[in-house]
Amino acid sequence: MLNYVLRRFLGILIMLLLLSFVTFVLSRTVPGGPFGKVEVPMGKKQLELFKAKYGLDKPILEQYVTWLGQAVRLDFGVPFTAPEMTVTGLIFKLLPYSALLGFLACVFSLTVGIILGMIAAAHQNSWLDNAIVTYSIVVGSIPAFVLGFVVVYVFAAKLAILPAGGWGGPKYLVLPVFAYGFPAIGGVARWTRQCMVDTISSDYVRTAYAKGLVRSQVMSKHVLRNALIPMVTSFLPMFPGMMTGSMFIEMVFGLPGLGKQFVLSSTNRDYPMVLGITVFWALLLSVTYFITDILYGVIDPRVRITQKSS
């Protein structure tokens, strides 16, 4: 088990190293630079002075090594666009907005999606099942940012019952959470249905009926636990996935979160910030996958044994 944990951590480290290197090189070789968009154009000499100040005049590999040397000490530098803060400080200042948005959107889509999926599975191949499946395909095909504009038009512009965007309290989250979580319902419902249907039609469920169990006992003791295994493994990573994937929604609603910051940092060529957010997101995702795998072993005895022996 310890061996397994160590191997997984090593894997995460190697992944972060590769990812940071690729992001570093790509972001700095993209045309344009941090000093291109100022009101008064700078002279050539002035530009070189600025580049030297931020170390941008050195070869790219040397720059990366310098960055890496600081990064291992958890110093990710200073954002070009907010020199009064550190990259880490800015990330943790903006994180709560994105985390809350992603978390609530996840809870919303999982709640509705799992309920719909279970209803569909319980009435497999009926009109209700067909209706839910069709509905989830349609719902799943709506891009969140398109839905964002629609709900802003209806609830903010026409009905004027909710704010159109920005931040000023919990009610500013209602429309973004809805627009972000609603399209995800489709996938959740279909996967839940699939997991349930697969389990219900399995041989051991037939055995459970054959030994004299009634439907409710079969469902609670045999179907749920088995169906839960593939559900947990795919739904748990949804949380960091949605916490880190909200850039469009944050742009549409002007939410001051990490996603919006990432877009702004990219267009401003704020290299330290782009790199900082990328590494942070990657870390968040890989740690969740790691936790998911551990949990998988807790609910599935077959995995537990193979880990013990490795």
Closer by beta carbon to other proteins, 158 or else 302:
302
Instruction: Indicate whether 220 belongs to the interface with other proteins (CB under 8 A).
Output: no
* Sign of the torsion formed by the C-alpha atoms of 68, 70, 76 and 81: negative
Instruction: Indicate whether 301 belongs to the interface with other proteins (CB under 8 A).
Output: yes
Residue of 106, 208, 242, 255 interacting with other proteins (CB under 8 A)? 208
And the tokens for 8? Answer: 């997984």
- Using the rule CB under 8 A, give the single segment among 4-12, 43-51, 221-229, 231-239 that binds other proteins: 221-229
Size of the site for other proteins (CB under 8 A): 25
Instruction: Indicate whether 302 belongs to the interface with other proteins (CB under 8 A).
Output: yes
Instruction: Indicate whether 299 belongs to the interface with other proteins (CB under 8 A).
Output: yes
Closer by beta carbon to other proteins, 59 or else 212:
212
- Using the rule CB under 8 A, give the single segment among 1-9, 127-135, 180-188, 293-301 that binds other proteins: 293-301
Site for other proteins in 41-100 (CB under 8 A): none
- Using the rule CB under 8 A, give the single segment among 114-122, 132-140, 199-207, 285-293 that binds other proteins: 199-207
Closer by beta carbon to other proteins, 44 or else 302:
302
- Using the rule CB under 8 A, give the single segment among 46-54, 77-85, 101-109, 222-230 that binds other proteins: 222-230
| Contact status, residue 112 vs residue 186, Cβ threshold 8 Å | no
Minimum distance of other proteins from residue 230's CB (angstroms): 12
Residue of 70, 134, 207, 220 interacting with other proteins (CB under 8 A)? 207
Spell out the residues 6+ positions from residue 198 whose beta carbon is closer than 8 angstroms to its own.
Answer: 227
Instruction: Indicate whether 222 belongs to the interface with other proteins (CB under 8 A).
Output: yes
* Sign of the torsion formed by the C-alpha atoms of 160, 165, 166 and 168: positive
Instruction: Indicate whether 300 belongs to the interface with other proteins (CB under 8 A).
Output: yes
Minimum distance of other proteins from residue 193's CB (angstroms): 16
Closer by beta carbon to other proteins, 40 or else 214:
214
Of 259, 18, 216, nearest to 122 by C-alpha is: 216
Q: Contact letters (x/-) for other proteins, 107-126, by CB under 8 A? A: ------------------x-
Minimum distance of other proteins from residue 126's CB (angstroms): 9
Residue with tokens 């990573």: 237
**Backbone torsions φ then ψ of 200, nearest 5 degrees:** -60, -35
Closer by beta carbon to other proteins, 94 or else 223:
223
Closer by beta carbon to other proteins, 226 or else 278:
226
End-to-end CA gap in the chain:
7
Residue of 164, 229, 264, 294 interacting with other proteins (CB under 8 A)? 229
Residues of this chain that bind other proteins (CB under 8 A): 125, 201-204, 206-214, 217, 221-222, 225-226, 229, 299-302, 305
